[in-house]
Amino acid sequence: MTMSTRMQTAALARALAEMAEGGLAARIRLEQAARVIVTARRAAELAAVGALRLPPVSDPSVQAVNEIARHWDATAVTALEYAETLPEAALERLLRAAPAWAAAFTGPTASRRLAA
């Protein structure tokens, strides 16, 4: 068995064990949180160079996502690793706020701004 095959087999075994133990839903939540964090960071970077206008920070969902995403140090850990360190309440807050945060970008000119 090659090294690559052994690594794939080990990864498969971990994934199967996680599913068998009921951890799949928790893993998916963390992956969703990581995706929100990365997306928020990218939006902030685009806004910093004037390529995107962020929604108003007076919106509670915008506050929640921005507050959690800005504490991520991308040079130290991956977004998934950061999400794994979040307290359950912060994770819940992020995931609840994400749809409204994303929708705040969809004003009348948002599609033109994002497509440009």
- The pLDDT tens digits for 36-63 are 999 999 999 999 998 888 898 899 999 9
Of the candidates 39, 23, 103, the residue with the CA atom closest to the CA atom of residue 74: 39
18 pLDDT band, cuts 50/70/90, is: confident
Which residues, at least 6 apart from 73, have a Cβ–Cβ distance to it below 8 Å? 82
pTM over 0.95: no
User: What is the per-residue pLDDT for 115?
Assistant: 53
Residue carrying structure tokens 């705040």: 104
Q: Does residue 5 surpass a pLDDT of 90?
A: no
Q: Does residue 113 surpass a pLDDT of 90?
A: no
Number of residues that make up the chain: 116
Which residues, at least 6 apart from 58, have a Cβ–Cβ distance to it below 8 Å? none
114 pLDDT band, cuts 50/70/90, is: low
